[in-house]
Structure 1
Amino acid sequence: MAEQMFGKVIPILPCRSMNEQLDFYQSLGFEMTYKQARPNQYACVRHPIAELHFFVLKELDPAKNYSMCYVNVDDVDTVYETFCESLKRNTNRIPTRGYPKITKPNNLAEDRRFNLVDPSGNRLLIGAKHAVPQSNAEQQPYVTVHASKFKNAFETAYRLAYAKDDPAHAAKVLDLVLPGMEEAPLPLRYRAVILRADIAHLLDENEAALSFIEKINQISLSHISLSAEEHHLVQEAAKRLEELKAVLMAGQ
């Protein structure tokens, strides 16, 4: 029998400024465990969920940085809340756009996750796998043919906005089907318009976001019967709507 082996992966990520990088991760609650200035700048940080190392690449453009790392955790919502509390305590803000930023947790086919993008554009995908495996149809939203083109467009836009962090592409996908979405089931239309409002906010198009919120107010689900799954999905969307309203009212 082969001897069992164990290992540990430690990402080594680029940054444009070591001080900026360390300040951000320490504001999240990471501990700096090592730092050197010569012969090259290098540093290490550690948190219960991950250990990360950094080197300086002064010409790095955060918008063109494709470095990423998936961090598997037991409870993604606890990690998210801990990071947000630490950011608010140390910086008095929770960045949701630009560099750095932290997105809200979202349910995808394979996991529940949020994205953490640091000042240099490195992306940590922090997720927890679903306890119950999804069906093959649910795991392949890009290629599966759904009974409804509206559902297909919604799932694709949702993944682009929240998993791929590409709200501009997500907006294009939804805008192709929204004009004809009166034919779609009301719960799906409700979730799609909320998603489009959130995408507008992610694109810093707050006037458009408010316009989509007005359209949401015209959709009433009170007279229809929802399945348990639909009820859960609608509740999740309604929570996101209230969060979005609060952010827009605060002028952020």
Structure 2
Amino acid sequence: MANEVTVPLLPCASIDDIVAFYEVLGFRTTYQQRKPNPYAALQREDLHLHFFEMAGFDPAQSYGSCLVLTSDLEGLHRAFAAGMRAAYGKVLVTGTPRMTRPRARKNQDGLSGFSVIDPGGNWIRVVRKATTEPLPATTPAGRLAKALANAVVQADSRGDVRQAVRILDSALARPQPDDDPVTQVEVLVYRAELALMLDDPETAADLLDRVKRVVLSEEETERAASAYENAADLAAALRRV
């Protein structure tokens, strides 16, 4: 057999909310019904997701999840982020729905990934498709990098934000002279993102101020470009809190 296609079928509390959200991300509705049960089929290029509505369903208690493999991780994230900015004026980083940023995942052989948590509480886990090329070394170098890698597993993969906070706070409380300043920026920005997820805008603002005080060379600033982009999104979210 060949050319088989598997389509995730995920629960939600409101088909209308699901359709509206995924349209923001560039999906189109290929099928929708209200009876005998609310149902919708959504498609974005080769990405297919189907949803069914459940009366009394609580997105906070959802175990719905699926894995999306793509060779253009950054492009897909940029497209989703652009849709969010156009519809909401910002990238959604807190609450439900929301989206994480692409980060290397220690529990996925170092491949980068990000997650979309939709209005139904479903985790759409987008991961870079592995190639036949040998993978680079996946062991993070340095104390802060190891803490960041562990925190990403806890928050972005498991959804345990508070454990990720404990890991990062412990690392930030023990600065070392040889800490990589780029990783320091990445840790501070990620910690600010987690603070917003925990509805703690004051801590998030303080952490973003600390980011501005980290002195980087021109080369280091280029390496930290993604973190600074994330910081700008977080600052925009703070202005709307």
Which position in structure 2 is the counterpart of 1:117?
117
Aligned to 1:171: 165
Letter of the 1:153 counterpart: A
CA distance in 2, matches of 1:85, 1:231: 23
> Is residue 237 of structure 1 aligned with residue 227 of structure 2?
yes
Q: Give structure 1 stretches of 5+ with no counterpart.
A: none
Q: Residue 72 of structure 1: which of 60, 69, 74 is its match?
A: 69
The AA in structure 1 aligned to 2:69 is: N
Name the SS of the counterpart of 2:3 in structure 1. coil
Q: 1:15 corresponds to which letter in structure 2?
A: C
- Whether the aligned pair in 1 keeps the contact of 2:90 and 2:233 (CA below 8 Å) is no
TM superposition shift of 1:12: 0.8
Residue identity in the other structure for 1:201 = L
Deviations along 1:65-122, whole A, 9 cap, x unmatched? 0111111123122222323333444555543221212223333353332211111101
TM-score, normalised with respect to structure 2: 0.81
Matched, 1:181 2:175: yes
Tell me which residue corresponds to 2:2. 5
Q: How far apart, in 2, do the equivalents of 1:189 and 1:104 lie?
A: 17
| 1:176 positional shift | 1.9
Choose which of 150, 153, 161 in structure 2 pairs with 1:159: 153
SS of the equivalent of 2:214 reads: coil
Flag the 1:238–1:31 CA change in 2: closer, same or farther, 3 A. closer
What are the equivalent positions in structure 2 for 1:92-241 lying under 5 Å apart?
Answer: 94-109=91-106, 110-129=110-129, 133-135=134-136, 137-138=138-139, 148-187=142-181, 188-222=183-217, 233-241=223-231
Q: CA RMSD in A?
A: 2.9
Q: How far apart are 1:10 and its partner, in Å?
A: 0.6
**Letter matched to residue 251 of structure 1:** R
Partner of residue 33 from structure 2, selected from 36, 40, 65: 36
Q: 1:100 touches 1:119 (CA, 8 Å); kept in 2?
A: yes
Q: Which secondary structure does the structure 1 equivalent of 2:174 belong to?
A: helix
Whichever of the two has the greater Rg, that structure is 1
**Structure 2 portions without partners, runs of 5+:** none
Between the two structures, name the one with larger relative contact order (CA 8 Å, sep ≥ 6).
Answer: 2
Distance 2:38 2:100 in 1: 29
* Structure 1 residue 170 displacement after superposition: 0.9
Aligned partners of 2:225 and 2:82: how far apart in 1?
Answer: 24
| Residue deviations 1:140-178 (CA, integer Å, cap 9, x gap) | x7xxxx7x5443222211333334443322111111222
How many correspondences in the alignment? 236
Q: For residues 65 and 87 of structure 1, what CA distance do their matches in structure 2 show?
A: 23
Q: TM-score, normalised by structure 1?
A: 0.78
How far apart, in 1, do the equivalents of 2:212 and 2:221 lie?
18
Cα 1:160–1:36 change in 2 (3 A) is same
